[in-house]
Chain A
């Protein structure tokens, strides 16, 4: 016998702490008492993602959504909704509570996310072009080929306010317009799928889950600026995305959506793929083009900008994957529709890869203007293991840290710039009190120093100098004078580096110095690492009242730094100790202390 209705009670950690399991039990009892046990199933779910208003109860198939339901409400819910068919209005989620930064009418906001770029990810099979087509795929292309002029397209993009999602935030319509206006026998559309920021995988997921959205956008861009060739530059570390793209291109070609005379319109466009070879700097547009041309990936001075003189010296529009994925939707729903989402200067949504010490890590897409607090505590479900939020890092190695005082900042390009960070490509790393902020700066510097192409001295020499300073601080060898020297090097790199890598790699240092100066001072003056991360600053000691003299620590110590007789308290010789932590790991009596 099949159930007719299902009552879903959110069993996520947030709702659980508000007694959702009691609620489940009560509901089951009431359902039983009302004689509905055979037609109504009460189920506990995982986290439904609306933690601030838990416990959540969802009734299916009618899709009724109740919030802040208490265990005592079970009887009323069952009696009124399930028996009498009357929803309990006082518990209903008020759908009129529209999100401040989205002026759209019929989108349900309990979920805080608006998935435009990711509209098809997790919905369609990316290997089946028919599924993309069924969901309005290539309908924007139809419009562009048969109903709009290139100027119309540029106008819609201008109305939309779309800005480059690779991190720079340059108005997309302007880039397309520059290229469109340069007369040339050949032009190119390049998709930057190099996505090098550690922790960022927005583009990877988009390409794996919805490759056609990028293809369609590139064909549209080509038609708009007058290009017949496209190149997707994708990092080789994304084999699945490469495979899905190759498949999509093959299918699009066989349908005549790529190649000669698309849809009998007279317009021809084809796309080839180029794989990167592990260089972060090749995400920088001029280095990328150099790589496509078969040269070592090194940037060149601009102007001239690629839009005017790019690949093989021809006008080239380079756009990030996420920027492109927005294009079909903007053209179908209109620039005005898109412009209603977001803040005054930053329209639309942004995809973030929410990772780090967060409960619900994953890919999210939120309207610009959403606050960091909403992202971390509502969508993200808060800090893992109940620890304290320390900072969020945006923009990867080019970005800065955002301390708790800015949790309520609406996220957009300008606001993030004001507090010393950048939007970046979308990596959003959450840190807690077990993360050492100096170690974070060192991590990013280590990365950018490794990835520096070496062409210009400010980055090549400055980066290494900065890294050395920070590394010495983590080893307890820093001096207070170092901090001013570091700031000088940072400013020199910002002003004189040839490309964005060198110009922005000081950001993590400047940002951490600005907001966490105390932690730097602690490392330098007190030689202390409060997060217990910097190995050289840790002190291992044995608490004599806890030590039973089992000799386990002395036996594993590689430096023979522990002395003691059996059954008597042992002592660590600090002069010999190399701080490997083996004694700490092996002691069963918690006698070895680490400070």
Chain B
């Protein structure tokens, strides 16, 4: 990281935008994003996150990137886990405990089946993109 000029900032933005669009960060095509706002953490998101990280490592899934995000407003359904995967629809799972987190890795990521009963919807359209 070093001090940027205007052109540096613009170049960085364009590069990162492509990144997000191509759903390909750090060379991995699958992203699992866990909500880690205070509401999520209070509901057990740290255990959920750890379970996912462990499951991904145990199954040797090199193509999976696990990340965190803030509160998306679905406080009643924390912990939330979003899965972005080519070939599968992007979904947000709510009320995910550690056991269900493992199921997400096994059933959704590997088995390419959506899990029952847990899907919720992002609460609003994206005004940025």
Residues of A within 8 A of B (CB): 2-3, 6, 8, 11, 41, 43-49, 58, 60-61, 107-108, 111, 113-116, 118-127, 130-131, 133-139, 142, 145-146, 201, 204-205, 208-210, 238, 240-241, 251, 254-257, 259, 263-265, 329, 359-365, 379
Interface check B122, CB cutoff 8 A: yes
**Contact flag A254-B1 (CB < 8 Å), given A3-B112, A118-B73:** yes
Q: A136 contacts B128, CB within 8 Å?
A: yes
Q: Name 12 extra pairs, CB < 8 A, besides A122-B80, A131-B20.
A: A44-B116, A45-B117, A121-B71, A126-B70, A135-B128, A138-B13, A142-B6, A146-B6, A238-B38, A256-B2, A259-B3, A362-B76
Closest chain-B Cβ to A428's Cβ sits at a distance in Å of: 13
B6's nearest neighbour on chain A, judged by CB, is A263
A123 to chain B: closest CB distance in Å?
Answer: 6
Contact A43/B73 with A119-B127, A240-B38 known, Cβ cut-off 8 Å: no
Complex CA gap A256/B1 in Å reads 9
Contact A41 B113 (CB under 8 A): yes
Q: How far is the CA of A341 from the CA of B21 in the complex (A)?
A: 28
- Whether B94 pairs with A46 at a CB distance below 8 angstroms is yes
Q: Which residues of A contact B114 (CB under 8 A)?
A: 6, 8, 41, 43
* B50, CB-defined interface residue at 8 Å: no
> Do residues B117 and A46 form an inter-chain contact, with CB atoms below 8 A?
yes
B121 x A48 contact (CB < 8 A): yes
- Contact check, A123 vs B126: say whether CB atoms are below 8 A apart: yes
A208-B37 contact in complex given A60-B89, A123-B126, A138-B9, C-beta closer than 8 Å: yes
Residue on A nearest B12 in the bound complex, by CB: A133
Chain A-chain B contacts (Cβ-Cβ < 8 Å), number: 189
Closest chain A CB from B129 CB (angstroms): 7
Distance in angstroms from A564 CB to nearest chain B CB is 46
Q: Which residues of B contact A210 (CB under 8 A)?
A: 70
Residues of B within 8 A of A116 (CB): 127
Closest-CB distance, A26 to chain B (whole angstroms):
16
CB of A122 within 8 A of CB of B112, answer no
Interface centre among A138, A251, A329 (most CB of B within 10 A): A138
Contacts of A2 in B (CB 8 A): 87-88, 112
**Contact status of A114 and B124, CB under 8 A, knowing A359-B76, A365-B73:** yes
- Interface status of B95 (Cβ within 8 A of chain A): yes
Q: Do the beta carbons of A255 and B76 come within 8 Å of each other?
A: no
Which chain B residues have a beta carbon within 8 Å of chain A's beta carbons? Answer: 1-6, 9-10, 12-13, 16-17, 19-20, 33, 35, 37-39, 41, 67-77, 80, 87-89, 94-95, 112-129
**A113 with B19: CB separation less than 8 A:** no
B129–A125 contact, CB under 8 A? no
Complex interface: chain A residues within 8 A of B33 (CB): 125
In the assembled complex, 11 residue pairs joining A and B whose CB atoms fall closer than 8 Å, in A order, are A8-B114, A46-B95, A48-B120, A58-B121, A119-B128, A121-B70, A133-B13, A135-B129, A255-B2, A263-B5, A264-B6
Asked whether, in the complex, the Cβ of B2 is within 8 Å of the Cβ of A254, the reply is: yes
Which of A58, A111, A123, A139 meets B13, CB within 8 Å?
A139
Nearest B residue to A45 via CB reads B119
Query: Are A363 and B75 in contact, with the CB atoms below 8 A?
Result: yes
Please determine whether B125 and A107 come into contact, CB atoms closer than 8 angstroms.
yes
* Complex alpha-carbon distance, A208 and B95, angstroms: 20
Interchain CB contact (< 8 A) of B115 among A43, A49, A61, A139: A43
- Expressed in whole angstroms, the Cα–Cα distance for A145 and B72 within the complex equals 31
Contact of B120 among A3, A47, A123, A124 (CB under 8 A): A47
CB neighbours of A8 from chain B (8 A): 114, 119
Compute how far the CA of A485 lies from the CA of B115 in the bound complex, rounded to whole angstroms: 61
Which residue of A has the minimal Cβ distance to B21? A134
A61 to B1, CA, bound (A): 38
- Of B6, B33, B87, most A-chain CB atoms within 10 Å: B6
- Give the residues in chain A near B129, CB-CB below 8 Å: 135
CA of A482 to CA of B12, assembled, Å: 67
- Chain B nearest CB: distance from A263 CB in Å? 5
- Complex: A135 Cα to B127 Cα, angstroms: 10
Contacts of A44 in B (CB 8 A): 116-117
- How far is A122 from B124 in the complex, measured between Cα atoms in Å? 11
Q: Which residue of the partner chain A has the closest CB to B14?
A: A134
Whole-angstrom CA separation of A123 from B73 in the bound complex: 11
Centre residue among B19, B89, B94, B128 by max chain A CB count within 10 A:
B128
Expressed in whole angstroms, the Cα–Cα distance for A582 and B86 within the complex equals 58
| Chain A: CB-nearest residue to B72 | A122
A3-B112, A115-B124 known; A11+B117 contact, CB < 8 A: yes
A362 to B70, CA, bound (A): 13
B125 near A108 (CB under 8 angstroms)?
Answer: yes
State the CA gap A343–B33 with chains docked (Å). 36
Nearest A-chain residue to B35, judged by Cβ:
A122
Say yes or no: B4 contacts A361, CB within 8 Å. Answer: no
Give min CB distance, B30 to chain A, whole Å.
14
Q: Compute how far the CA of A113 lies from the CA of B126 in the bound complex, rounded to whole angstroms.
A: 10
- Is A204 a contact partner of B13 (Cβ separation < 8 A)? no
CA distance A132 to B38 in the complex (A): 20
Contacts of B6 in A (CB 8 A): 142, 145-146, 263-265
Q: In the complex, A43 Cα to B107 Cα: how many Å?
A: 13
Please, which residues of chain A bring their CB within 8 A of the CB of B80?
122
Inter-chain CA distance A21–B5, complex, in Å, is 57
Q: A111-B121, A365-B124 are in contact. Are A134 and B69 (CB under 8 A)?
A: no
Question: Which residues of B have CB within 8 Å of A120?
Answer: 70, 128
- CA of A45 to CA of B95 in the docked complex: distance in angstroms? 12
Bound: A131/B69 CA distance, A: 11
Q: Are B127 and A107 in contact, with the CB atoms below 8 A?
A: yes
Q: Which residues of B have CB within 8 Å of A6?
A: 89, 114
Contact of A46 among B4, B13, B87, B119 (CB under 8 A): B119
- In the assembled complex, which residues on chain A have CB atoms less than 8 Å from the CB atom of B115? 43
Q: Are B128 and A45 in contact (CB under 8 A)?
A: no
Given A107-B125, A208-B38, is A127 in contact with B68 using a C-beta cutoff of 8 Å?
Answer: yes
CA distance A137 to B121 in the complex (A): 25
B112 touches A134 (CB 8 A): no
Q: Are A364 and B68 within 8 A (Cβ)?
A: no
